[in-house]
Amino acid sequence: MVVAVTELTHLLLPGMIERRYGRIINVASLVGLLPAAPGHTLYPASKAFAIRFSESLSHEVARYGVHVTAVCPGFTYSEFHDIVGTRDRVSRLPAFMWLDAPTVARQGFDAVMAGTPVYVTGRVNRAIAVLGRLLPYRLVTAFNRRVAKHYRKM
């Protein structure tokens, strides 16, 4: 989740700079913007890396006509939760918290075309990201710890 992002960028970016045009979308996650919870050690850390890497790179290469965006979706209907074994638990979340994959992809595409370095998909996810920044760290961490117990196999 870190090496692939870095290596692919290293391989493809020089050609984009040479052409003076290119678009890079790194799929990060809303959790990369929030304090991590127990049982989620590598995933949020790697997504936080993708966000900061994309943000920094975006500022560095914009002058060459290259746009880089970290797309930060929250809950998205995909095979992700099947793979990590949490489908039955996350399916209990309210429908308004979910986005479908085509919507996330469209919002990510629109963000990179607009030159937005970090984009959080969906209104609910943007509200969560703002609350994560404004609320005291200890409160957000305690909430994440409590919620994580229900959505992750330990």
Q: Is residue 107 part of a domain?
A: yes
Question: How many residues appear in the chain?
Answer: 154
Sequence-distant (6+) residues with CB within 8 A of 36 are: 44, 45, 144
Q: Is residue 121 part of a domain?
A: yes
Dist CA 90 CA 152 (whole Å): 9
pLDDT in tens for each of the 154 residues of the chain?
999 999 999 999 999 999 999 999 999 999 999 987 777 789 899 999 999 999 999 999 999 999 999 999 988 877 776 777 767 777 777 888 889 999 999 999 999 999 999 999 999 999 999 999 999 989 988 887 877 666 555 4
User: Could you read off the pLDDT of 11-23 as tens digits, one per residue?
Assistant: 999 999 999 999 9
Q: Is residue 111 part of a domain?
A: yes
What is the reported pTM? 0.87
Q: Is residue 44 part of a domain?
A: yes
Q: Is residue 17 part of a domain?
A: no
Exposed, middle or buried: residue 40 (CB in 10 Å: 0-12, 13-18, 19+)? middle
Instruction: Please count the structural domains in the chain.
Output: 1
Cα 36–77–138 angle (5° rounding)? 20
What is the CATH number for 77? 3.40.50.720
Decide: 73 and 29 in contact? Cβ < 8 Å: yes
Q: Is residue 62 part of a domain?
A: yes
Dist CA 82 CA 135 (whole Å): 31
Sequence-distant (6+) residues with CB within 8 A of 126 are: 120
Average pLDDT, the chain: 90
Site of tokens 């979308």: 25
Q: Is residue 16 part of a domain?
A: no
Q: Which positions are catalytic?
A: 43
Q: Rg of the Cα trace of the chain? A: 16
Query: By C-alpha distance, which of 138, 118, 151, 126 is closest to 49?
Result: 118
Its domain, for residue 113, covers 3-10+22-151
Dist CA 113 CA 24 (whole Å): 10
Q: Is residue 15 part of a domain?
A: no
Query: By C-alpha distance, which of 125, 124, 15 is closest to 71?
Result: 125
pLDDT at 81: 67
Decide: 109 and 25 in contact? Cβ < 8 Å: yes
